[in-house]
Amino acid sequence: MVHVADAMQCTALQGKRVLVVDDDHDTREVLTVVLELNGAVVASADSAAEAVKAFEAHPPHLIISDIGLPDEDGFTLLRRLRSLPGGHGQRLRAIAVTGYDQADADGQLGGFDAQLTKPVALEGMLEVIATTLRSA
């Protein structure tokens, strides 16, 4: 078992704004705590509609979103965020969180830069986040 304190190792998150979108309260809480312990400024949402409001209020550097949301899927949410006026969505890095392997035959992730499979392993998550942020 990984303890949250042991997972603190991602300097790439220092000062980065991150939006966590997941309808599961426990998943949002764990991700938020780990990200904040690594220096991120975190907003969270439990639906796509709430995520759009949070995005418009404070555009994040990174979004970590569940694919299976109650009001629309994460792929649709990401397309919507990337099309918002102002251009912030076009530069947005995005990581999908899902219970399934969502990559298609070409390895595409529906616009997401990376994917984490539930249950999310904290040690692997921080490596994926660092790689995704460096690619920005």
pLDDT in tens, 73-117: 999 999 999 998 887 778 899 999 987 665 544 445 788 999 998
- Report the candidate in 49, 56, 130, 52 with the shortest Cα–Cα distance to residue 88: 56
Residue 99 lies in a domain: yes
Instruction: Please state which of the ranges 32-36, 53-57, 91-95, 108-112 shows the lowest mean pLDDT.
Output: 108-112
Tell me: pLDDT of 72 over 70: yes
Mean pLDDT throughout 128-132? 93
Three-state DSSP at 112 gives coil
User: According to the model, what pLDDT value does residue 101 have?
Assistant: 60
Residue 9 lies in a domain: no
Residue 2 lies in a domain: no
Phi, then psi, of 41 in degrees rounded to 5: -100, 115
Q: Which domain holds residue 22?
A: 14-134
Residue 118 lies in a domain: yes
pLDDT in tens, 117-127: 888 888 789 99
Following CA atoms 8, 98, 73, 66 in sequence, which dihedral angle do they give, to the nearest 10 degrees?
-20
Average predicted confidence (pLDDT) for the chain:
86
- Structural contact between residues 69 and 19, judged by C-beta atoms closer than 8 angstroms: no
Residue 64 lies in a domain: yes
pTM score of the predicted model: 0.88
Residue 4 lies in a domain: no
- Structural contact between residues 133 and 93, judged by C-beta atoms closer than 8 angstroms: yes
Centroid of chain to Cα 41: 13
Residue 31 lies in a domain: yes
